[in-house]
Structure formats: C-alpha cells, structure tokens
Amino acid sequence: MKKQRFDSVQDALERSPAAAANMKARAELMIALRETIDDWHVSQAAAAKRLGLTQPRLNDFLRGRITKFSLHALTEIASRAGLTVRVEIARPAVA
C-alpha cells in the first residue's frame, strides 16, 4: 500500500482542491468566530441576538457543524461579530 501525504486533513478528505480550499476557509472562519464569541462572555441567547442568528443556529455553530454553514454565511456572521475577513490569493510556484 502506497502512503500519501497531505498538507491538511481537508486536503485528504475533500474530492478536489477547490472543495478543500473552501473547507479550510470555513474552518478558519469558525475558529476565529468561536474565539470572538468566547471572549464576549455572554449567554448563547445574547450571542445569537448580537449575531442576528437564532439560538438553535448558533448552537449548530458552537457544536462545530461546519457542513451547515456556507462560506458566505460565515463571512456574514464574521462581519456582524466585528471581524474583518480577507481573502489571500496565491499562485502556484513555477518550477
């Protein structure tokens, strides 16, 4: 059996580089948002209200249900949380 190496778990799990990039971006946003929400030291109800979400929707987020959130939705939530989201575009190295 040939061993494969991947840069990240998303690269190993996703079917395409584009899907892996999308998952990585969503994971990074979720981590940043989780840290921000934790820093608020408020109840889920208060955090949900501040983010414009229902409490069940916030609960899905806090439980890490990444597949329930699109990149667009997470960008919107990050904006409501006062975060600035930037996209980094990199070209592959030319050999």
- In this predicted model, what pLDDT tens digit does every residue of 15-57 receive, in sequence order? 678 888 899 999 999 999 999 999 999 999 999 999 999 999 9
pTM for the full model?
A: 0.79
Q: How far apart are CA 72 and CA 67, in angstroms?
A: 12
Give the pLDDT confidence score for residue 15 in this predicted structure: 65
* Domains in the chain, CATH or no CATH each: 9-80 (1.10.260.40)
pLDDT of 79 > 70? The answer is yes
- Asked if 14 and 20 count as a contact pair (C-beta separation under 8 A), the reply is yes
Q: How far apart are CA 34 and CA 81, in angstroms?
A: 10
- In this predicted model, what pLDDT tens digit does every residue of 18-27 receive, in sequence order? 888 899 999 9
- Asked if 85 and 72 count as a contact pair (C-beta separation under 8 A), the reply is no
